[in-house]
Chains A and B, each alone.
Chain A
Amino acid sequence: MHNEYISDLTPNLPFPVHFSIQNILFLLVALAGFGLFAWQVRKIRANILVGRDRDMSGNVSERLNKTLLVALGQQKMFKRITPALLHLIVYVGFIVINIEVLEIMIDGIFGTHRALSFLGPLYSLLMGTNEILGVLVIMAAVALWWRRNVKKVRRFTGPELRMWPKLDADIILYVEVILMTALFTMNTADLKLHQVQGLELPGAFPISSLLTGLLPSNVATLEILERVGWWAHIVGILAFLNYLPSSKHFHIIMAFPNVYYSRLVPQGQFSNVDSITHEVKAMMDPSYQVPPPATNPDGSAAAPTPFGAKDVDDLAWTNLLNAYSCTECGRCTSVCPANITGKLLSPRKIIMDTRDRVEEKYNSPLIFQPNLYGTEAKHAEQEVLDKESHTLLRGYVTPEELWACTTCNACVEACPVNINPLESIVEMRRFLVLEESAAPNSLNVMFSNIENNGAPWAFSPSDRFNWADELFVADKAVKA
């Protein structure tokens, strides 16, 4: 391949093009990075789609609006101001600094140097903002690490955060610091290189210009440092991209579809099971036509779906999407009345268990399965009943956890990305009650009271109007 040939292809680019072996290497690295990521995303998409169908189409403008507010605008993060601000710095830093990644891509492919510098003052503004954000991101990462590891904020502890999730959270912070360090190494070396050679480097570098004194003045060393910084930044980003599917950090992508597909109905509204509606209607009206059972594509009768959920594939696909959107921040668990008062239930654990289980049963995102590492330690407190089949219910989540839920929706309200742990909890309760008749005894008593007396307590229906006895003289009672 000749330089002339490439130049012919790109005659109108506003920057000089210098093609070299580095560009071929870069193209290969970039293609491998994005290709591997696409492959991983396909696997995760397949994992999510093992869930039951649920029609979430329609209401596009309402859903987009919510996505803008909650996902892009981080509306729910601001219930807790300190972490919200720290998170905002990292988030804005991520988005703005990634504009520079666009430049790195162009430079990498065409062998240009700072291809976007033709933007002039705008470029200076962008580079200057990046540098300031870079410092802020490092400071925020340190503060976030301190909250986790020194201050030990309560919601960052808990059984489900042992082993991989704990390491994962710290790795993300380290990678952020490393990426920012690479950015500053690149900029500082580039700046010094230009200074030493008496040249002007386009752009503004408020932080790197303070650091040039730290570097040697040797041109060859500076050139190497600049290249190391450049490569470390882009390879780091591509590696991090491929780390995401194994990590809680995947939320930076999944938060958007998850919020988009989150429920629009009041939080108190639980789904009605359609198959039960048909049964009940048929019982009350013998002429009611129950729709024919589902069939496989080849026309054979499909296996009947159980009531409720025993395993991940009994949950709706949106519940599995939830599991991949969770960043394990623990806001749900920290407001859960059961968890606060020392019960085993932790909504975050239900969501994390769902992700672990779907990867155990179906695809794992990479060759290694970090989410499944150390599961015994994560479940040490639980009496895990089903060690053989390892289903979500009993293999990961115990009935004791499920029965501790007050369905108060505090977890749903707290989640910054609209995850709904309550839906999964109720689905598993349904399986326990309707498929296994395994409700706690006192609840079975309540059920039979409703069946026999029409009230959850053992009162006679004929006493239902007794409240009025002390209230009215006889004529009022007749009126009512």
Chain B
Amino acid sequence: MSNLAAAGEEPEILFWVGCAGAFDDRYKRVTRAFVRILEHVGVKYAVLGMEETCTGDPAKRAGNEFLFQMQAMQNITTFEGYGIKKIVTACPHCFNTIKNEYPALGGNYEVIHHSTFLQQLINEGRVGVAGGGEFKGQRITFHDSCYLGRANDIYEAPRDVLAVLDADLVEMKRSKANGLCCGAGGAQMWKEPEPGKKDINVERTEEALAALDGNAAALHNLLGVESGNAGATPAPRSGEQRSIIAVSCPFCMTMMSDGVKNKERENNVQVFDLAELIATAEGLNA
């Protein structure tokens, strides 16, 4: 961003990478996939690079309002310095914080989550994914991120993005507004869970696997779903076939990947972010 500003240019969007996108090895791949898409469609974008710093989301959810506001003010100062107007990010937590909590502190921007941005690119015909690419016919289930879904009512954009893959999309019993958290929100990402019967990400992964496998018995045993309230069960299929859990959040990525490992299904179940799926289908991963 500083280079663009020095050249007197203004970017179309600021791509907010987020800490996970910058430091987490798995999520760096998502950052790169998204940047490849931006390059491919020719969006004029910028990143803050080393000037980016935590939005303060985990501090705020953990109750450290002071630290949150310090981070927020620092970021707002940076945004204002560059005259930023439009921000796109692949992290629902950063998205929610900048979009909803910065305005009261003086930072007003158009903030877009990458699922919505990808949906726009698809609607504008700038990303085609002709025939669905290599994901055609594959079974995919989308795990709703709380901070995208319930927190901001974005349920359709990620599903619209997945729809272009021409895949066999199946829904979990608890999806959209009823979606079950991966277990990482509210600063849980940085602490051990409290004592209990089970880890939340394992419960959620079991649900995802049951949906992918079309395992009616497993779906029936889910806790917290009242009988008669669950939707249709996907057609049963062998757990040997390759299938995908799609996510749109770095923390969900970690939790669901760990869950798949815990259930020893890494050999045929993979966890991908929307941007990775689109970039791969579009043949941009070379």
Please report A residues at the B interface, Cβ cutoff 8 Å.
79-82, 153-154, 265-270, 272-273, 276-277, 279-281, 283-284, 307-308, 334-345, 400, 403-410, 412-413, 426, 428-434, 439-440, 442-443, 445-447, 450-451, 454-457, 459, 461-468, 470-471, 478-480
B214 at the interface (CB under 8 A from A): no
Interface-central residue, B19, B63, B228, by most chain A CB under 10 Å: B63
Distance A480 CA – B101 CA, assembled complex (angstroms):
27
Interface-central residue, B22, B32, B71, B228, by most chain A CB under 10 Å: B22
With A272-B101, A276-B65 as contacts: A406 and B53 at CB distance below 8 Å? no
* Interface hits, B144-193 → A, CB 8 Å: 146-147, 150-153, 174, 177-181, 183-193
Shortest C-beta distance, B28 to chain A (Å), equals: 4
One of B42-50, B114-122, B123-131 at the interface: B42-50
Interface bits B57-73 vs A (CB < 8 Å: 1, else 0): 01111111111011101
CB closest residue in chain B, given A457: B23
User: Chain B contacts of A80 at CB under 8 A?
Assistant: 226, 229
With A338-B196, A465-B50 as contacts: A269 and B21 at CB distance below 8 Å? no
Shortest C-beta distance, A316 to chain B (Å), equals: 15
The reply to whether B65 and A273 form a contact with Cβ atoms under 8 Å apart is yes
With A269-B96, A403-B191, A406-B181 as contacts: A451 and B146 at CB distance below 8 Å? no
The reply to whether B65 and A434 form a contact with Cβ atoms under 8 Å apart is yes
Given A407-B185, A413-B178, 10 further pairs, Cβ under 8 A? A267-B150, A277-B104, A335-B174, A344-B194, A403-B191, A430-B63, A443-B62, A443-B191, A463-B23, A465-B50
Distance A334 CA – B174 CA, assembled complex (angstroms):
12
Q: Of B19, B70, B147, B150, which contacts A410 at CB under 8 A?
A: B150
Shortest C-beta distance, A468 to chain B (Å), equals: 8
With A429-B63, A470-B32 as contacts: A457 and B19 at CB distance below 8 Å? yes
User: Chain B contacts of A443 at CB under 8 A?
Assistant: 62, 187, 190-191
Q: Of A276, A334, A446, which contacts B66 at CB under 8 A?
A: A276
Q: Is the interface of A mostly helix, strand, loop or mixed?
A: helix
CB closest residue in chain B, given A461: B50
With A269-B100, A338-B200, A406-B188 as contacts: A447 and B64 at CB distance below 8 Å? yes
The reply to whether A442 and B191 form a contact with Cβ atoms under 8 Å apart is yes
Interface-central residue, A81, A307, A342, A428, by most chain B CB under 10 Å: A342
User: Chain A contacts of B181 at CB under 8 A?
Assistant: 337, 406, 408, 410
The reply to whether B151 and A480 form a contact with Cβ atoms under 8 Å apart is no
CB closest residue in chain B, given A404: B194
User: Chain A contacts of B46 at CB under 8 A?
Assistant: 480
The reply to whether B198 and A450 form a contact with Cβ atoms under 8 Å apart is no
